[in-house]
Structure 1
Amino acid sequence: MPILYFDCFSGISGDMIIGALLDAGLPFDVLEQEIKKLKLDDYNIREEKVVKRGISATQFIVETHEHHPHRHLVDIQKIVGESDLEEPVKNTVLEVFAKIAEAEGKIHGVSPDTIHFHEVGAVDAIIDIVGAVVGLHTMGITKVFASPLNTGGGWSKCMHGTIPVPAPATLELLKGVPIYNGGVSLELVTPTGAAIITTVCQDFGQLPPMIPKVVGYGAGTADPPVPNLLRVIIGEETSCWVSHLNHTEHKHSGPKHNEHRH
């Protein structure tokens, strides 16, 4: 059974997740066909190879001419519900948006149903969330783990003004998740990234015992001192790593005639 590990040394966002999955072998044409099932207009998606601090990666880009969307949760539910996406994908996507609405509602002191999705309700954010969920589903990934999240720090500008990093809604989403500030004055974990990872991830911590098969790098748009990348490691789950070490030792366990030559 495939197991996936997100190495979030430079944070996480929806587009970085998709970029990492594309870099790890998710076919772009399959992703494109799935996103078309949303029946959204006036957008274009593409993938681009980039290099961040000497590391080759894939960047997922959404281009749209939509300005200042003001969608409510019910609008998102209608878009996703009336799409031709598979039911498991729909359910996960709606769970992600429900989490965001709940977090935003708590921060602003209003009901989740009355929340105006601004940045998160835009077409590009909808595509990022759907694309990330579709990617995991298409690749047959059912076990997802992640490292502690480097949130970054400092200040960020949004529609409400200047706010601390992590953003209040992002931090609300990350309750119970190990996070840290790696010393970068930049928002590294976005609300969409936080909502996606806390929905699909089974646990957070060190790299679990696994046999890596594929490694992918998804690029962000920033250029901090550390590579603005999300690394994804896909492989086989294993509990036999000790046996592998023992097997290696046994291959060399005969008389060590060369030990005394020096």
Structure 2
Amino acid sequence: MKTLYFDCFSGMSGDMVIGTLIDAGADPIRLEEELKKLHIEEEYKLNWKKVIKNGITSTKFDVLLTNKDEHDHGHYSHEHRHHENHHVHNHDQANHEHDHDHHSHDDHEHTHEHHYDHHHRTYQDIVHLIEASELSDEVKKTSLKIFKKIGEAEGHIHGMPLEKVHFHEVGAVDSIIDIVGAAVLIDQLQIDIVKASPIAVGSGSIHIDHGIYPVPAPAALEMLKEIPIQQTTIKGELTTPTGAAILAVLAEDFCTLPSMKVKAIGYGAGTKTFKNQPNVLRVIIGEESR
């Protein structure tokens, strides 16, 4: 049985999931081709590269939003891709501050201070986008489950039905790529079962549209119900709502590292740098006897 184990000692975000799966051997070119089946490729570019995190070589994955003609509304400054608290637009630096050490000039051009139209995609828009795509049924099913998890959490927090939940455009594009991308890569790697460690969530507080809230943010915490979480001394948000949703849907068991013959290991980089701990998500893939 092919088992994938997420070691979430430094938390989890959507881009860290993609990075760690690529690092473990998934094909990013095939990922890029599969994502084109959503027919929104004019809205983004993908970037992946090797970086060093506290001495650990890992893969950094980014969704770089392309310029648009409309620049009238919604200022998303510097590192736009991690303000991903969906309906509650999250302005904390979170797990993903801009890491100047590892960003190329090309990345910087795309990520530094863009102005975008403040359009929204509703939950229903995203469901339609996925259902109308040419993605495989399995990838569609997994992606829709993850988005439903997010939509239900946001709806619960804000007291609105699932159909009314909407996503800020910047968050929506990132989330679509991270969530559908995770589903594509899990399918590509032919994983039979996903397991995970308890998930580190960080500590301190976070700024969202409605004020200052303790970490984890409300949406992330809602999705982490029934999932073992671990507090850390690191200040800041280690687990984002997208990371929480992916874990909540994919992981069937939360445990210590299972007994298995290890076949592949991957490290997916976050963008923040900690003094005494690599900001990475580790994945271990192996054959587990039934």
TM range (shorter): 0.7 to 0.9
Q: Does 2:96 match 1:45?
A: no
What is the 5 A alignment of 1:228-247?
228-238=279-289
Over aligned residue pairs, what C-alpha RMSD do you find? Answer: 1.4
Describe the SS at the equivalent of 2:237.
Answer: coil
Q: Provide the residue aligned with 2:56 in structure 1.
A: 55
Offset of 1:119 from its aligned partner? 6.7
**Distance between the aligned counterparts of 2:121 and 2:209, measured in 1?**
15
Describe the SS at the equivalent of 1:222.
Answer: coil
Q: Does 2:234 match 1:184?
A: yes
Q: Is the 8 A contact 1:69 1:121 kept in 2?
A: no
Q: Provide the residue aligned with 1:220 in structure 2.
A: 270
**Distance between the aligned counterparts of 1:60 and 1:16, measured in 2?**
7
**Distance between the aligned counterparts of 1:96 and 1:137, measured in 2?**
15
TM-score in terms of structure 1 length: 0.88
**Once structures 1 and 2 are overlaid, which stretch shifts more, 66-75 or 10-19?**
66-75
What is the 5 A alignment of 1:26-37?
26-37=26-37
- The amino acid that maps onto 1:34 is E
Offset of 1:182 from its aligned partner? 1.2
**Distance between the aligned counterparts of 1:120 and 1:95, measured in 2?**
21
What is the 5 A alignment of 1:1-262?
1-40=1-40, 41-65=42-66, 67=116, 68-118=118-168, 121-225=171-275, 226-238=277-289
Offset of 1:2 from its aligned partner? 1.2
**Once structures 1 and 2 are overlaid, which stretch shifts more, 150-159 or 87-96?**
150-159
**Distance between the aligned counterparts of 1:24 and 1:164, measured in 2?**
33
Which is higher, the Rg of structure 1 or of structure 2? 1
Offset of 1:221 from its aligned partner? 1.2
**Once structures 1 and 2 are overlaid, which stretch shifts more, 121-130 or 184-193?**
121-130
TM-score in terms of structure 2 length: 0.79
**Once structures 1 and 2 are overlaid, which stretch shifts more, 68-77 or 98-107?**
68-77
**Distance between the aligned counterparts of 1:231 and 1:195, measured in 2?**
17
**Distance between the aligned counterparts of 1:172 and 1:230, measured in 2?**
21
Offset of 1:120 from its aligned partner? 7.7
Q: Is the 8 A contact 2:12 2:281 kept in 1?
A: yes
Offset of 1:213 from its aligned partner? 1.1
Describe the SS at the equivalent of 2:273.
Answer: coil
Offset of 1:88 from its aligned partner? 0.9
- The amino acid that maps onto 1:132 is A
**Distance between the aligned counterparts of 1:120 and 1:5, measured in 2?**
30
